[in-house]
Amino acid sequence: MNNSYYYKCVDCGKEYPAKEIKYLCEYCEKQNTKMLPPKGVLHTLYDYNKIANKLSVNSSKSFQKIKENHFLDILPINNPENFPNLKVGNTPLYRINSLDKKNFDFELFLKDDSQNPTYSFKDRASYLVSAYAKENNIDTLVAASTGNAGSSLAGICASQKQKAIILVPEKAPIAKLTQILMYGAKLVPVKGNYDTAFDLSVQASKKFGWYNRNTAFNPLTIEGKKTVAFELFEQLNYFVPDRIFIPVGDGVIISGVYKGFEDLMKLKIIEKMPVIIAVQSSGSNNLVGNIDKEHFKMKQSATMADSISVDIPRNFHMAKNYLNKYKGLYLTVDDEEILSASASLSKNTGLFAEPAAAAAFAGFLHYYKNNKLDPKSKNIVLLTGSGLKDLQAVQTVIKMPVAIEPDIKNLELSRII
């Protein structure tokens, strides 16, 4: 085991050495109930002062030095050879100058994480968890998923010759289930929702000793997801963006982005945190809808954006702490806005995002239409998954044309010309 990092409980602050596999704080976990977000989620922390002392005063040179070592100083992996032999991360960052032929007076960038091997942001977490498993001679991994995390773990494990067991709600999108099966993983549909599958996977980890990849349960998933912050900083020529719009379900992606920039701040490579905007579906807003409440109140999720449809946000406490600490913002968008944003994104940029990812673009559109974006500001929209993962969701915003007889007159009559 690597002892250059340690764990710290988000809730009670208790620290744990990295001498064994650790999921939740053993003290806070005892307080957990099924109807509330779990306590005891762990941060993975490093000796930032020791690392910073080895770096240059110049921030870009410091960053490059960290990168040259594969970021291992701030990742829980000893040997880069344990990473899967797939290209995860280093996804494109596209500059978009206009929308519907109207030029922007600000800068907009789209981070397209659908370009990961299994077409979603979740590969970043699976990549790191799989490497950790290989480094520690673990051959069976398990995850609960609405689809993306499961297909991600299945694909990454296939590349590492590891066994993946994926528990999914029985109504998960068929495209994602197809991916899981094609990668050769063991697929287990579970009657109920994501939370039901999550709880069963945790029980299975305890009983069978399988290594659990669940986000907001395995602290290393956040360490994988934070790498997007490193890429954004470098792709923007060592500038911190002004805003980042992020789709939110469990609260793990947004925590990962915060954690990545926070690591760079602790290493004195950057001096400020971007304004991060959490975007949730109004039909599944159990995270942002409870940030200002004294007591958590769950409402049944009902949204077609399945990847962010969550009744009990597993990383609620960490995400809430980050949003409050760094004065993050949040808003909700309804399904109609998400579908409209998906269509607008595709037609204007050539990028086809699944509904959960399109939610972030819908959040951007809200700011854009209400003149909330400062001139010359740098704005990022994090696109977390491909639209090919859920084709059924967008059928209401397209109209499939009927076939014509192969005659040039019919082509003229079809009004294409």
pLDDT tens per residue across span 13-25:
999 999 889 999 9
Reply yes or no on whether the pLDDT at 59 is more than 90.
Answer: no
How is domain 93-118+221-397 classified at the architecture level of CATH? 3-Layer(aba) Sandwich (3.40)
Residue-wise pLDDT for 182-222, tens only, equals 999 999 999 988 888 988 999 999 999 999 999 989 999 99
Residue-wise pLDDT for 181-192, tens only, equals 999 999 999 998
Are β-strands 93-99 and 102-112 bridged in parallel, bridged antiparallel, or unpaired?
antiparallel
Instruction: Indicate the pLDDT class of residue 119, thresholds 50, 70 and 90.
Output: very high
Residue-wise pLDDT for 324-335, tens only, equals 999 999 999 999
Task: Say which DSSP state 315 is in.
Answer: T
Distance CA 159, CA 83 (A): 10
Reply yes or no on whether the pLDDT at 396 is more than 90.
Answer: no
pTM score, whole prediction? 0.94
Q: Tell me, what's the pLDDT at 1?
A: 42
Name the percent of the chain lying above pLDDT 90. Answer: 79
Q: Tell me, what's the pLDDT at 2?
A: 47
What's the chain's average pLDDT? 93
Across the range 302-331, mean pLDDT stands at: 93
Reply yes or no on whether the pLDDT at 42 is more than 80.
Answer: yes
Residue-wise pLDDT for 63-98, tens only, equals 999 999 999 999 999 999 999 999 999 999 999 999
Q: Tell me, what's the pLDDT at 120?
A: 94
- Give the dihedral sign, CA 351/344/257/236: positive
Q: Tell me, what's the pLDDT at 302?
A: 86
Reply yes or no on whether the pLDDT at 417 is more than 70.
Answer: no
Reply yes or no on whether the pLDDT at 174 is more than 90.
Answer: no
Q: DSSP readout, 241-290?
A: -SEEEEE-SSSHHHHHHHHHHHHHHHTTS-S-PPEEEEEEETTS-TTGGG
Domain boundaries of the chain, sorted by first residue: 93-118+221-397
Q: Tell me, what's the pLDDT at 406?
A: 84
First to last CA, the chain: 65
Residues 6+ apart with CB under 8 A from 214: 143, 144, 149, 198, 201, 202, 221, 314
The answer to whether 249 and 74 are in contact (CB under 8 A) is no
Across the range 352-356, mean pLDDT stands at: 93
Across the range 249-262, mean pLDDT stands at: 97
The answer to whether 149 and 224 are in contact (CB under 8 A) is no
Across the range 309-329, mean pLDDT stands at: 95
What does the block give as tokens for 392?
């059924």
Estimate the crossing angle of helix 59-68 against helix 227-235, to 10 degrees: 130
Instruction: Indicate the pLDDT class of residue 304, thresholds 50, 70 and 90.
Output: confident
Helix (H) or strand (E) holding 63: helix 59-68
Task: Say which DSSP state 26 is in.
Answer: T
Residues 6+ apart with CB under 8 A from 88: 116, 117, 123, 124, 127, 156
* CA-based nearest residue to 287, from 313, 308, 268: 313
Q: Tell me, what's the pLDDT at 399?
A: 79
Reply yes or no on whether the pLDDT at 377 is more than 50.
Answer: yes
Residue-wise pLDDT for 138-155, tens only, equals 999 999 987 789 999 999
Distance CA 41, CA 39 (A): 6
- What separation in angstroms does the CA of 337 have from each of 176, 340, 355? 23, 5, 10
- How far, in whole angstroms, is CA 156 from its chain's centroid? 16
Q: Tell me, what's the pLDDT at 416?
A: 62
Reply yes or no on whether the pLDDT at 8 is more than 80.
Answer: yes
